[in-house]
Amino acid sequence: MILGTGIDIIEVERIASSYEKFGARFTHRILHPDEIAYCEKHARPEPFLAVRFAAKEAISKAFGTGIGTELGWRDMEIRRNEMGAPYVVLHGAGAKLFAARSARHLWISLSHTAQYAAATATLEG
């Protein structure tokens, strides 16, 4: 059973601007260390940062909370399996919401170009 869905799209330039202006202060606010390392290993990290931003927005919409008091940026972590497919690891409030919703799986899909990053999330019960 589908408990919630979310989608988000963002202009990569918006994230690039924040990354340029605030640097580590920005990335450490929204990402886990492994996410930062993965993004920054690319010659142009901005699309990879942007798609993780979009993924976290989509996840928060699937939960029906948005980003805020019930679910924070760092309560969600985007990882990649050995085949490169993205998956979510929930921490803190994210793990509590997952359990409270009696969820069984959280599916995500990511896509990005030089200009846009998009993500969908589906919370399955």
Domains present along the chain, CATH in parentheses: 2-124 (3.90.470.20)
Catalytic residue list contains 32:
no
The reported pLDDT for the residue numbered 46 is 97
Question: pTM for this one?
Answer: 0.95
| CA R_g for the chain | 14
Q: Which of 21, 28, 32, 61 is catalytic?
A: 61
Catalytic residue list contains 112:
yes
Reading the block at residue 25, the tokens are 């202060």
The reported pLDDT for the residue numbered 32 is 97
Report the chain's mean pLDDT, rounded to a whole number: 97
Q: What is the largest CA-CA distance in the chain?
A: 42
Residues 68-97 have pLDDT tens digits of: 999 999 999 999 999 999 999 999 999 999
Q: What is the mean pLDDT of residues 97-125?
A: 97
34 confidence band (pLDDT: 50, 70, 90): very high
Q: How many CB atoms lie within 10 A of CB 42?
A: 11
